[in-house]
Amino acid sequence: MKAMLIRHYGGPEVFELGELETPRPGKGEVLVRVHGSSVNPVDASIRAGLLKLFVRLSLPAVLGVDVAGEVVELGEGVTRFSMGDRVFAYTGTGRGGGYGELTALPETFLGRVPPSLSWAEAGTVPGVGATAYEAFTVHAPVKPGMRVFVNGGAGGVGTYAIQIAKALGAEVTATCSQAKAELVRGLGADHTVDYTQADPFATGHDSYDVVLNTVRGPSLDPMRKLLKQGGTLVTVTGNPLEAAEAKVRNLVSSRRTAVFFVQTSGALLDGVGKLIESGKVRPIVEKTYTWDELAEAHRRVETGRVAGKVAVVPP
């Protein structure tokens, strides 16, 4: 099969078109012909070698943690899917596969693509959509009337977080630049905070039931101060050290901190898919790139200024 490979870690220019042996689905797996993927910040970090201590790749490797495509072969024991089904999956950081023609995945990873989505749109959903859905249904369940603060409202996870929180009945405040405020309000945010003009965490102390951090870099302490007693701060950009710190802090504080790494779960994606089909959530795709533009797509994501997601489709 054809795939965009990396043979060594480095900048976006390391991608090259190559050939690999076609994968075969094992027990409980399906073979998916890939029609859509995307670029996530984690894809860029893996490519650059920044996560070598945590993600062990066998080079040459096919990156791309988001996959959308059709089922073309069933492994032994598969019961949830049939040939030709439209599916998508978050494959996990150690597996990838989105930048290849075919990939074999456990059926438990897969959700069903909503009929309304194009392949380009579907390929941008899995990682960020599942992350926001898991945050607000598992780690900090959002109920009607709650107040939710989203740090990074115009990014991949943030655009889903705003819409999912609104669908669950919350009042939502989100940070964004002034240039993206119209987009963020259009997704349902009740209030926006321009982080380029002032400290977005300086006011609003003791105001929110849930704070979701999607931005790598800022200290979590100012965000904790935004929480009401009994509230929860969820961060999707943490590391094992922050996760360990959170466990200790939660023993002595009524304001809880949750650091998590999204699951490879088809059930989460089916939850997001139902919200998309109901019209309550929609993917935000800034631009679609083809394989021969993959380096450009990675450079765009590395600016940290993408509105929503960038899609990647095969030739």
- The pLDDT of residue 251: 60
pLDDT in tens, 80-98: 999 999 999 999 998 999 9
**What are the domain boundaries of the chain?**
2-125+283-313, 128-259
Classify residue 226 as exposed, middle or buried by CB count within 10 Å of its CB (0-12, 13-18, 19+). buried
Per DSSP, the three-state class of 290 is: strand
pLDDT in tens, 130-172: 999 999 999 999 999 999 999 999 999 999 999 999 999 999 9
- The pLDDT of residue 240: 59
- The pLDDT of residue 307: 95
- The pLDDT of residue 249: 73
Query: CA quadruple 53, 32, 290, 265: dihedral positive or negative?
Result: negative
> Tokens at residue 8, please?
């060594």
- The pLDDT of residue 220: 86
- Residue-level pLDDT, tens digit, the chain, 315 residues: 999 999 999 999 999 999 999 999 999 999 999 999 999 999 999 999 998 888 889 999 999 999 999 999 999 999 999 999 999 999 999 899 999 999 999 999 999 999 999 999 999 999 999 999 999 999 999 999 999 999 999 999 999 999 999 999 999 999 999 999 999 999 999 999 999 998 999 888 889 999 999 998 878 889 999 999 999 999 998 665 666 676 767 666 777 888 888 999 999 999 999 999 999 999 999 999 999 999 999 999 999 999 999 999 999
The fourth-level CATH superfamily of domain 128-259 is: NAD(P)-binding Rossmann-like Domain (3.40.50.720)
Query: What's the CA gap between 207 and 310, in Å, rounded?
Result: 33
Distances from the Cα of 261 to the Cα of 8, 88, 120, 134, angstroms: 25, 18, 24, 10
Tokens 């439209």 found at: 86
Q: Of 29, 133, 25, 129, which is closest to residue 80 (Cα–Cα)?
A: 29
- The pLDDT of residue 259: 86
Q: Would you state the CATH architecture of domain 2-125+283-313? A: Alpha-Beta Complex (3.90)
